[in-house]
Structure 1
Amino acid sequence: MLLQQQKMQLSSYTELYDLVVPKENLLRKINELIDFSFIYEELLNKYCLNNGRNAESPVRMFKYLLLKSIYTVSDMDVVERSRYDMSFKYFLEMTPEEDVINPSSLTKFRKLRLKDTDLLNLLIGKTVAIAIEKGIIKSKSIIVDATHTLSRSNPFSRIEVLRERSKLLRKTVYQFDEEFKTKMPSKNIENDVKKELEYCRELEKRIKNEASISEIPAVKEKLNLLKELVEDTDEQMIYSKDADAKTGHKSADSSFFGYKTHIAMSEERIITAAVVTSGEKGDGPELPQLLEISQENGMEVDTVIGDSAYSGKENLKIASAQNIKVVAKLNPSITQGFRKDEDKFDYNKDADRFVCPAGHLAIRKARQNRKNVGKNQVDTYYFDTEKCKVCPLKEACYKEGAKFKTYSVSIKSDLHQDQMLFQESDEYKEKSKHRYKIEAKNSELKNVHGYNRAIAYGIENMQMQGAMTIFAVNLKRILKLM
């Protein structure tokens, strides 16, 4: 029975689709591009085939979630729109007269059917396979970066988030009816979640009672989002707690509370791999996994393009072993050292010693860190402290009472030497020009598809959101390039 539900039922009205859903319609193009039966095959073991009532088609349920990602709407709005939008009905393989699902079915589908499914890799792998099959991916480079997503509870209290959502609803209402302010309930001014929930319910009730306002699509969308939030807060009562989210840093004085999605993308702007982590994780350590997943998905990689976070020694080793070039600047501390010019000592090549600013030659040197233990070796030069004690420059150089005065220089590994030479090449400079593309892709994910904030709690839900969003973005990109 489940398999039969995957097919559009016969209807005398089906020909309407040819009249009202044009060939250039995005949803028609997606339906023609991809065979969604792979979803049925992936989720088949999540259904009981010989007991209970008939389930909704897993392919149709998946398509509902895809529509949510493409158009950034609530569960209620995506179902409501599929009631009257013929392009939605066509995409969902419904007959024109067929009724829609209950919005609560989408929550059950996410929790019961998609749980424990590696949806992220499945969907990215599918789109990459299509892009390769269609000859869209021709490059052998992956561009890597990470984008942050705020936790659903980031990091405001329940009251702050409820107030922000109700504020957006009021502002939208006032755009259409400024005088509606007189009909609004009195705001809750106490720091009491229950009273804030009561205010939100009363606000929702008064707007719903005015059909001339509540039926305006923009108002209805904000109204449904507030309703979902109120229900979720009522159920969870821990709205400000997201156990999997962590605080990460965008800069020395800028932080966020949420998740990171580490992304690899081809030069044609097709995302080839993604890894979702909590917000505090570093970018560089995720490169090996991004590279491996991209290769498993069919990408042939000879170059990795990224920022300096990806130029760590372990990444250079992994890339070198596969003859992959890394177009990422080395940390300035490796190429230039940490010291300012005025703090640097001069090197005397004849004596193989450093000379301090006062002209004193080091009396001996020692090499620290054994070779091939994962750390750069360091040459440490020792100076005569008896001279330092009476030196006119000692205040800026010598600490009173110190037994030793040393000057250390990091010895660059062969990997670092090779990378420094590569950084000066024309090939490096040409390839580095492609890095902006992934920043534009991150912007698209956030500003067009709502990826700037998590829509549910927990890293599993964040992975699911990432899977649907990246799948939608990749399909749109493939269609554009075709």
Structure 2
Amino acid sequence: MLAQQQKIQLSSYSRLYDLVIPKDNLLRKISELIDFTFIYDELLDKYCSNNGRMAESPVRMFKYLLLKTIYTISDVDVVERSQYDMSFKYFLDMAPEDEVINPSSLTKFRKLRLKDADLLNLLISKTVSIAIEKDIIKSKSIIVDATHSLSRSNPHSALEVLRERSKLLRKAVYHIDEEMKGRMPKKNDSDDLEKELAYCKELEKCIESDQTLSLIPAVKEKLNLLKETVEDTQEDYILSKDKDAKTGHKSADSKFFGYKTHLAMTEERIITAAVVTSGEKGDGPELPMLLELSRDNGIQVDTIIGDSAYSGKENLNLKGKDDQNIKIVAKLNPAITQGFRKEEDKFDYNKDADMFVCPAGHMAIKKARQGKKNRGKNQALVYYFDVEKCKTCSLKDNCYKTGAKTKTYSITIKSDQHSQQMAFQETDYYKEKTKHRYKIEAKNSELKNVHGYHRAISYGIENMQMQGALAIFTVNLKRIIKLTS
């Protein structure tokens, strides 16, 4: 059963908030900026209206999750801080003496209430509407890029994650008591994950044995994060694998297992659209959707700024609302923009590796140019794939001919078809607009390094979308607050 309980209940202690929470406190500013009742309206049908116990307000539960994202802390720590941190209680619309929830309620809320909700588009749309209302967005350009997030069960770095969390915990401890160095268990120097888990458990016991030290917030938060990681690794690294995550490529020699989030952002650094895909997907094919979502959110677009991955032939022909071509400020790359290529909807170009990726997610191992210039025939770029992988590939039908010694994919180079874009690249407008592209790199860095978006905190693309929704919602609110200040 759900009753709308959005306001702080009358309490003789409520005046404390005015005394202890500064006017420039981030949580106070967010509360003043946005009315969170839209969350209640969105999730109303997820609750029974006339049966069962009184449910915790969905707005308050959502705010708990938002606090987790803003401060990058665990479920346990966000609830514990809400017991004594007055700014947290104020943000949660609680009276100072109110009791907090059980941390397990957050897991249930994510799984039962937020499941199937289009939270990503909902939260982005809400922040964009606030930015438009505040007259923040002046430009008619969007900057596009994709950022990758490792899967929670990334097979290449589970051990590295444990080591990083234990390192942060030790660092927090030494900052308070350097004498603890002599009491710490011996670190695991092998690449054996079981031994690393055993070491982390010993480290937990060692620090918990000092009850004074383990209760210091800076240490306790790092300790709880390590515990959470150990428990999740024990439960999932053997029996479970993220079925939605895929292997993508950051460069010819670097790959990752996880997801990609394709972003569109205004020159004022307000994110206007996002699409979450598995890691192997190309960047360019997502541009039309990013444009459509940005428009649906009220953004006028006449220019798109991106890297060479977005300069494909299909993207160069994107139309505006007035049926005029949208200007694409993205450097031409002959590998994907010039001329006709077969099965172009199946093979994706990876700009970082400068190679094509087949429908099964395998990257070409080399390329070669065929034909000579000025001989009356077009040259071609030929990409070669590992034929041994093709032989056992589940998608080899209609792709690999049994017995063939090579598997190639060819691109015809016809530079004359893009003379207009080549001329556009020389204009002052193009050169001025391309200077704004760095802004989205900085935004990606903020999402990853400040709000934990470098790694998925749960399994499945739906949970990745939920994580993205909260992270993007947070950075947009912070940006709006900064610009309106």
TM tier, smaller: 0.7 to 0.9
Asked if residue 87 in structure 1 is aligned to residue 97 in structure 2, the reply is no
Which residue number in structure 1 is paired with residue 259 of structure 2? 259
Runs ≥4 residues deviating over 6 A: 188-195, 334-340
Deviation at 1:334, TM superposition (A): 7.9
Counting only pairs closer than 5 Å after superposition, residues 14-413 of structure 1 correspond to structure 2 as 14-156=14-156, 161-185=161-185, 197=197, 199-236=199-236, 238=238, 241-319=241-319, 321-332=323-334, 345=373, 347=374, 354=375, 378=378, 410-412=413-415
SS of structure 1 residue aligned to 2:275: strand
Deviation at 1:67, TM superposition (A): 0.8
Which residue number in structure 2 is paired with residue 12 of structure 1? 12
- Indicate conservation of the 8 Å contact 2:308/2:330, yes or no: yes
Any stretches of 5+ residues in structure 2 without a counterpart?
A: 340-366, 381-410
Deviation at 1:475, TM superposition (A): 0.3
SS of structure 1 residue aligned to 2:250: strand
What letter is aligned with 1:253?
A: D
- Indicate conservation of the 8 Å contact 2:245/2:460, yes or no: yes
State the alpha-carbon separation in 2 of the partners of residues 379 and 96 from structure 1: 73
Which residue number in structure 2 is paired with residue 398 of structure 1? none
| Superimposed CA distance per residue, residues 370-393 of structure 1 (whole angstroms, 9 cap, x where no aligned partner) | xxxxxxxx499xxxxxxxxxxxxx
Which residue number in structure 1 is paired with residue 390 of structure 2? none
Deviation at 1:188, TM superposition (A): 6.6
State the alpha-carbon separation in 2 of the partners of residues 334 and 115 from structure 1: 38
Deviation at 1:428, TM superposition (A): 1.0
| Superimposed CA distance per residue, residues 24-62 of structure 1 (whole angstroms, 9 cap, x where no aligned partner) | 111111111111000001011111121111111100010
Which residue number in structure 2 is paired with residue 465 of structure 1? 467
State the alpha-carbon separation in 2 of the partners of residues 409 and 74 from structure 1: 52
TM-score (norm 2): 0.81
Deviation at 1:248, TM superposition (A): 1.3
State the alpha-carbon separation in 2 of the partners of residues 171 and 409 from structure 1: 55
- Indicate conservation of the 8 Å contact 1:141/1:305, yes or no: yes
Deviation at 1:172, TM superposition (A): 2.9
Q: How many residues align?
A: 424
Of 431, 434, 437, the match for 2:436: 434
- Indicate conservation of the 8 Å contact 1:263/1:274, yes or no: yes
- Once the two structures are overlaid, the 10-residue window that deviates more, 150-159 or 251-260, is 150-159
SS of structure 2 residue aligned to 1:463: helix
| Superimposed CA distance per residue, residues 122-179 of structure 1 (whole angstroms, 9 cap, x where no aligned partner) | 0000000110111011111000001111222223375554454334323432333233
State the alpha-carbon separation in 2 of the partners of residues 239 and 413 from structure 1: 54
Which residue number in structure 1 is paired with residue 361 of structure 2? none
Any stretches of 5+ residues in structure 1 without a counterpart?
A: 348-353, 355-364, 367-377, 381-407
- Once the two structures are overlaid, the 10-residue window that deviates more, 323-332 or 178-187, is 178-187
What letter is aligned with 2:283?
A: D
What letter is aligned with 2:16?
A: L
Which residue number in structure 2 is paired with residue 479 of structure 1? 481
| Superimposed CA distance per residue, residues 281-302 of structure 1 (whole angstroms, 9 cap, x where no aligned partner) | 1110110000000000000111
What letter is aligned with 1:461?
A: N
State the alpha-carbon separation in 1 of the partners of residues 308 and 379 from structure 2: 25
SS of structure 1 residue aligned to 2:463: helix
State the alpha-carbon separation in 2 of the partners of residues 77 and 243 from structure 1: 29
How has the CA–CA distance of structure 1 residues 195 and 436 changed in structure 2, closer, same or farther, with 3 Å as cutoff? Answer: closer
Deviation at 1:240, TM superposition (A): 7.1
State the alpha-carbon separation in 2 of the partners of residues 218 and 294 from structure 1: 40
Matched-pair identity in %: 75
How has the CA–CA distance of structure 1 residues 55 and 234 changed in structure 2, closer, same or farther, with 3 Å as cutoff? Answer: farther
State the alpha-carbon separation in 2 of the partners of residues 286 and 264 from structure 1: 10
Deviation at 1:191, TM superposition (A): 7.9
- Once the two structures are overlaid, the 10-residue window that deviates more, 279-288 or 244-253, is 244-253
What letter is aligned with 1:132?
A: I
State the alpha-carbon separation in 1 of the partners of residues 240 and 166 from structure 2: 17
State the alpha-carbon separation in 1 of the partners of residues 299 and 432 from structure 2: 21
What letter is aligned with 1:451?
A: Y
How has the CA–CA distance of structure 1 residues 25 and 188 changed in structure 2, closer, same or farther, with 3 Å as cutoff? Answer: closer
Structure whose CA Rg is larger: 1
Deviation at 1:271, TM superposition (A): 0.1
What letter is aligned with 1:232?
A: D
